[in-house]
Structure 1
Amino acid sequence: MVRFEDLRIFVSAADHGSFSAAARELDLTPAVASAALKRLELTLETRLFVRSTRSLRLTADGERYLEYARSAIATLDAGRNALARDKTAISGTLSISVPSDLGRNVLLPWLDEFQRRHPRVGFQVRISDRLADLFRQPVDIAVRYGTPADSSLVALPLSESNRRVVCASPAYLARHGTPQTPVDLRRHNCLSFVLGESLHDRWTFERDGVSQTVPVKGDRVSDDGELVRRWALAGCGVAYKSRYDVLEDLRAGRLVQLFGDHQGEPSPLYLLCVHRMLLSPAVKRLRACLQERFAAFEVG
């Protein structure tokens, strides 16, 4: 069996015309290089070099074999490089779960752009506001608001500065008036979101380090964040939404943010998975891309 290392030493010695030079190039001792050449000659049952105390030259068999040795080394190097590229390649199919509102209106265009840049990446997208059971469902990663309650999940921040905002359409405010303080929400139709069995009907605000929670009520409740946003756009009531979900609506004037001197509760955004072994090169690149896009999204 011909050793790969022996082939390298043979080619280097042929190129340099010296065992010592080949040994220096490959960071070996001259004795190791000489032993490798002897081993190769024994395996091939032929002399590859004519040696003297002052020179080293290839025999006729050595000349013929050199071409094959170079080819073998090039092929093996190409195979090794291909495997190395595969380990870092941005490729494969990612199954990703995204929130209803943010997913449809913000993330999906960004995923399209990511796929155009990396055409070897495919996506299986699940849209739901419920946190996917990453241990049971065929989901690689999930994008979700809020620090996950399950501490066994790997949670990588995408944006930690996001908060909830209270907003309503100009048409609703024209009909019902503009609430001036969070307490005024008790006299308004508040559009509530329900997640699982939990009704989000207590809205929390912070001003000058003081926290305030206001119970709200209204005639519409949904477990779909996108539907709550559509109700707000249609003038059906006041919504308490992640700022990212309504940022473009606020900038376009379709919705108006209320209580600018009060901060809504934090709503950081995370990329979740069950184990760090699932953080493939594609996932890492996607996370970096999303972090950049959210940072740019913030400043418009």
Structure 2
Amino acid sequence: MNRLSDMQLLVDAADLGSLSSAGRRAGLSPAAASACVQRIEASLGARLFERTTRQLRLTDEGRAYIASCRMAIETMREAEQAVRTGVNRISGTLRVSTPSDLGRNVIVHILDRFMVQHPDVRIVLTLSDSLSRFVPDDVDVAIRVGPLEDTDLVARHLADSWRVVCASPTCVATQGMPTHPEDLADLPTLVITTNAGPRNEWRLGDAVVRVRRYHESTDSEVIRTWAVLGRGFAYRQLWAVANDVREGRLVLVHAPAWSAPSPIHALYHANTFQPPRVRSFVDYLQKEMATLMPSGANNALGLHFG
């Protein structure tokens, strides 16, 4: 139990930004709290905090270690709760990050059903089109679309989605329907921008086209709105524009010939003591995604790609 108390002191210090405040919460004097942290750092052979008279800041080693401390503490609490109640109830905070389109159109509904089954789980959902790295102390499960870079994280394949070229009927009538993928290079287009820059290189079937005339935005919803308003051709995930296509606001351009599959993965820590809520959510997510996108071939429009 001393080890768990040490872990809780570290977590409190990181959350409160003060070693003295963390010590008071644990019933320790500032000197005793400082001595405890020094003892832990000595046993680890690494400095966890950079300490000044005004600021307590985590080192890189501290961020990684305290993220594991959080998991260990929450796992123990869940185990104790299960023993007390005799029921394997899942609880605690589940932090999920996902691209905006996928989050709004798919993940939010999956999370809603998960919350009904597990009402004691608190959800923290982050939606962003600029998510480019997994933040160890902020995220339990990161959902990513597209090829993965090398990572030490566990990557579980969930499904395959499809990127499609789409435009409003007005845009097609004004600009004409492109005949070859290369035609899009000089047509007005709409491009999402991330931390890595504008995504103006589109894979259309066997061709790769770099579009040159484009408006850009960091918000995928802006891109969808511009497309509906006729401002250009967009290259979006099919599930993000499915309702617009069904209702005639957008049309698909040479689908599926110009469409490309994109794998969807769930990324999480390779941790032996993974909290039950994380394991349960990833299992549930994989089952739900397989139902929504079986073999990456089916979709909300009734089209069968692949």
TM-score between both structures, scaled by the size of structure 2: 0.62
- Does residue 200 of the first structure (1) align with residue 199 of the second (2)? yes
Distance 1:169 1:136 in 2: 41
Which of 234, 238, 245 aligns to 2:229? It is 234
Partner SS, residue 282 of structure 2: helix
Contact 1:134 1:140 in 2 (8 A): no
Sort the Cα spacing of 1:134 and 1:260 in 2 relative to 1 into closer, same or farther, 3 A: closer
Q: Counterpart in 2 of 1:58?
A: none
Distance 1:167 1:138, change over 3 A: same
Hey, what's the Cα distance between the residues in 2 that align with 1:152 and 1:292? 24
Aligned counterparts of 2:86 and 2:234: Cα–Cα separation in 1: 47
RMSD, matched Cα: 2.7
Change in CA separation of 1:153 and 1:261 when aligned onto 2, cut-off 3 Å: same
| Pair 1:109 & 2:109 matched | yes
Query: Identity over the aligned pairs, expressed in percent?
Result: 35
1:239 shift after superposition? 0.7
For residues 203 and 80 of structure 1, the distance between their equivalents in structure 2, rounded to whole angstroms, comes to 51
Give the aligned residue type for 2:286. Q
Partner residue in 2 for 1:189: 188
What pairs up with 1:82-231 in 2 under 5 angstroms?
82-83=82-83, 88-131=88-131, 133-159=133-159, 161-206=160-205, 211-231=206-226
TM-score by length of 1: 0.64
Amino acid in the other structure paired with 1:204 = R
Name the aligned partner's letter for residue 267 of structure 1.
Answer: S
Q: Is the Cα–Cα contact under 8 Å of residues 271 and 287 in structure 1 kept in the other structure?
A: yes
Deviates more, 1:120-129 or 1:192-201: 192-201
What's the CA shift string for 1:15-59, capped at 9, x where partnerless? xxxxxxxxxxxxxxxxxxxxxxxxxxxxxxxxxxxxxxxxxxxxx
1: CA distance, partners of 2:238 / 2:253: 12
Runs (5+) with no aligned partner, structure 1: 1-78
Rate the CA distance shift 1:166–1:81 in 2: closer, same or farther, 3 A: closer
Checking the alignment, whether the CA contact within 8 Å between 1:143 and 1:270 is kept in structure 2 is yes
2-structure distance, mates of 1:250, 1:204: 21
Aligned residue in 1 for 2:69:
none
**Cα offset for 1:126?**
1.1
In structure 2, C-alpha distance between the alignment counterparts of 1:81 and 1:265, rounded to whole Å: 46
SS of corresponding position for 1:229: helix
Whether the 8 Å contact between 2:193 and 2:218 is mirrored in structure 1 is: yes
Q: Unaligned stretches of 5+ in structure 2?
A: 1-78, 301-306
How far apart, in 1, do the equivalents of 2:80 and 2:220 lie? 49
Q: Which amino acid aligns with 1:205?
A: L
Q: Which amino acid in 1 is paired with 2:168?
A: S
Q: Residue 94 of structure 1: CA displacement?
A: 0.3
> Equivalents in 1 of 2:86, 2:242: separation in Å?
39
Deviates more, 1:219-228 or 1:132-141: 132-141
Deviation at 1:121, TM superposition (A): 1.4
Secondary structure at the counterpart of residue 172 of structure 1 = helix
* CA-to-aligned-CA distance 1:131-185 (integer Å, 9 cap, x gap): 35434541111111123213212111111x2221111122222222222321221
Amino acid at match of 2:104: R
Query: Match for 1:163: what amino acid?
Result: W
**AA in 2 matched with 1:224:** D
Give, in whole Å, the separation in 1 of the partners of 2:209 and 2:291.
Answer: 32
Cα deviation per residue 1:226-281 (whole Å; 9 max; x = unaligned)? 22122212221111112232233333333211122524333111111232446433
Post-superposition CA distance 1:172-207 (Å, at most 9, x none): 22222222321221342111122213321121122x
Q: Distance in 1 between the 2:230 and 2:105 partners? A: 19
In structure 2, what is the Cα distance between the partners aligned to 1:261 and 1:134?
A: 32
Q: 1:116 to 1:173 in 2, by over 3 A?
A: same
Which consecutive aligned stretches of 4+ in structure 1 deviate over 4 angstroms post-superposition?
84-88
SS in structure 2 of the partner of residue 193 of structure 1: strand
Equivalent pairs, count: 217
Q: How does 1:21-100 map to 2 (within 5 A)?
A: 82-83=82-83, 88-100=88-100
Aligned counterparts of 2:198 and 2:279: Cα–Cα separation in 1: 34
When residues 116 and 237 of structure 1 are mapped into structure 2, their CA distance, relative to the original with a 3 A threshold, is: same
